[in-house]
Amino acid sequence: MEEIVIPKQVQLIMDMLSEHGYKPYIAGECVRDLLLGFDVQDYDIITSARPERLGVIFEPFRNKKFNPEKGTMVILHKGMAVQVSTYRDSENYYTDDVIKDLARREFTMNAIAYSTAGGFVDPFGGCDDLRNCPPLIKPVVYGEKPSDLETKGDTMFRGLGYLGTGDYALSEEAKAIIENNCHIIPEKEPETLKERLSELLLSRRIADVMEEIPRFFFTLIPELEPMLDFDQHSREQMYDLWLHTAKAVGFSTPDPSMRFALLFHGMGKPDCYAEGAKGFVTFEGYITRSRLLADRIMERLGFTASEMDMIDFLIENQDNEIGTEKEDIAEALAYFSPVELKSLLLFNMANYRAKSPALEQKAMACKQLSEQVFAINERRSRPAPVSLR
């Protein structure tokens, strides 16, 4: 894992810095990705050279851009973008210490530097964390200062974003820090919180994130918490309400409205739980209750009216089963637009898959019907042919 070949374009820039007496390293995500065997096109070089020296050293390059506020220069050379930055410490002051620069990074796997001349600088054990299978998401801890994972909500979202790719695992330390400190996140502006949550919900393995660290979601949206370990009392349902919800979100198409609708669609069940005289359990009115809770959350987070309309539509129609015959589709299109019907079918597909593997046939039928509706919508959208008479 630890053999790194630096492209000639990047090495040339590093050599120019060395010739002027400065220490250059590639650092951050480019080193991480090289160690993991990924293709890297954007490189970050950190160096002891001060910003005012960068323009002098790289004067021969035509395609370059200097950012005086950040003290960085981006050089485009032979099809590759290379950013050169001066070492900074945690207070954003320039420093001659590469370790202080690495200490600013959020996660150990991104706090590794490398140069051909000096080898690896890995003060926080990032290489060991990358050797883990899967690689570990672990916070950088330097001195007595709390890690960014303890104090910054954005860092928590980024950590869970890595987890959501399916390529990394949360260390026990990182998981405990997020669970104990995620209460700081709701202090963000509601619109910002909605944006970050939307990005996280679109993760490829969002179901894993929701299952592994549910406390994070309950802190952001307290209305979700009653779903945890809630028995749905149904032979069709293999999982408790929260696990079913997590799997439904994960099985769905990566559309924000779809995923929020599935996140919210069963929220009303705990409030509507009732046992009949013969011990039968019912959830009468849970769909209406789920929609009301969803509306309260969406208003709090600043959803637009059009976003709320689509999410409400999917929640309200979740029990509306569409038949598989042509006449069934024609009948459904009398009530719903093609876009609404396609979305509802894809919603039902994810919902069926999240209930039980025994319902996979129903899920596939929904997917096939959605493709037919898509084709119908395409035909309707085509402009009418122009007569040449």
Please name the fold of domain 1-133: Beta Polymerase; domain 2 (3.30.460)
Residues 243, 246: Cα–Cα separation, whole Å: 5
**Residue 42, strand partner residues:** 81
What's the pLDDT at 384?
52
Instruction: Considering the chain, tell me which residue range(s) the CATH 3.30.460.10 domain(s) occupy.
Output: 1-133
What's the rounded mean pLDDT across residues 307-321?
95
Is pLDDT at 318 greater than 80 in this prediction?
A: yes
> Which single residue is written with the structure tokens 């705990």?
270
49 band by pLDDT with thresholds 50, 70 and 90:
very high
Q: Side chain identity at 323, as an amino acid letter?
A: G
Is pLDDT at 341 greater than 70 in this prediction?
A: yes
What's the pLDDT at 386?
53
Cα–Cα separations (whole angstroms), residue 250 to 130, 214, 326: 26, 14, 29
What tokens appear for 46 in the block? Answer: 């950190």
Q: Are 303 and 286 in contact (CB under 8 A)?
A: no
Is pLDDT at 294 greater than 70 in this prediction?
A: yes
Round the average pLDDT of the chain to a whole number and report it: 92
- Which tops the pLDDT comparison, 230 or 323? 230
Residues 122, 17: Cα–Cα separation, whole Å: 21
Q: What radius of gyration, in Å, describes the C-alpha atoms of the chain?
A: 26
63 band by pLDDT with thresholds 50, 70 and 90:
very high
Is pLDDT at 310 greater than 60 in this prediction?
A: yes
Task: Name the packing angle between helices 338-355 and 326-333 (round to 10°).
Answer: 120
Is pLDDT at 377 greater than 90 in this prediction?
A: no
- Per-residue pLDDT of 163-216, as tens digits, reads 999 999 999 999 999 999 999 998 777 888 999 999 999 999 999 999 999 999
- Which tops the pLDDT comparison, 248 or 328? 248
What's the rounded mean pLDDT across residues 232-240?
90
Is pLDDT at 323 greater than 90 in this prediction?
A: no
385 band by pLDDT with thresholds 50, 70 and 90:
low
> Which single residue is written with the structure tokens 């976003």?
307
325 band by pLDDT with thresholds 50, 70 and 90:
confident
Q: What is the DSSP letter of 375?
A: H
What's the pLDDT at 145?
85
- Per-residue pLDDT of 208-234, as tens digits, reads 999 999 999 999 999 999 999 999 988
Alpha helices by DSSP H, the chain: 8-19, 29-35, 51-57, 98-102, 126-131, 148-151, 153-164, 172-181, 190-201, 206-212, 214-220, 241-251, 256-264, 269-272, 286-301, 305-316, 326-333, 338-355, 360-381
Q: What are phi and psi of 45, to 5 degrees?
A: -110, 130
